[in-house]
């Protein structure tokens, strides 16, 4: 597997982020973020992945280049999970990306990893 260049799409997300409701307050997204946390715990998420999830879920990670907040992506990933009877494949990929977040701390890297998952599942399955 080739190494992901998390900066490849920097600044080119405008048209693919139309379905993200950025108008919702972060407080309105917290229930979905907590639900995703519970799914990951139930799935058996590694300690490193859970630590990274907790860091990004509790931080104010904003990606100024792509104009998106990590909370928007966590919120949508839970919405995607709700669209599946069994979202094990998605959870596995979320865990992999969370573990890989240990290699870099920039906002663009974090958001790009989550965004790629979200887009692949949303577009492939027409979830949202």
pTM, two decimals, is 0.82
Residue 2 lies in a domain: no
Give the count of domains, the chain.
1
Show Cβ contacts of residue 107 under 8 Å, excluding neighbours closer than 6 positions: 61, 62, 63, 64, 70
Structure tokens at 114: 């989550």
In a domain, 103, yes or no: yes
- The pLDDT-based confidence of 68 (bands split at 50, 70, 90) is confident
Say if 84 falls within a structural domain.
yes
* pLDDT for residue 83 is more than 70: yes
Tell me if 5 is assigned to some domain.
Answer: no
Domain residues for the domain of 90 are: 14-125
56 falls within a domain: yes
CA separation for the pair 80, 87 (Å, rounded): 8
């Amino acid at each position: 597997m080739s190494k992901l260049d998390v900066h490849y799409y920097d600044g080119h997300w405008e048209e693919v982020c139309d379905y993200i409701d950025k108008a919702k307050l972060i407080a309105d997204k917290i229930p979905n973020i907590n639900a995703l946390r519970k799914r990951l715990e139930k799935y058996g998420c590694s300690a490193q992945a859970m630590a990274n999830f907790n860091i990004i879920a509790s931080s104010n990670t904003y990606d100024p280049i792509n104009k998106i907040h990590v909370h928007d992506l966590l919120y949508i990933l839970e919405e995607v999970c709700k669209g599946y009877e069994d979202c094990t494949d998605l959870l596995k990929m979320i865990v992999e990306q969370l573990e890989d977040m240990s290699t870099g701390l920039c906002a663009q890297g974090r958001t790009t990893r989550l965004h790629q998952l979200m887009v692949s599942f949303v577009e492939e399955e027409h979830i949202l």
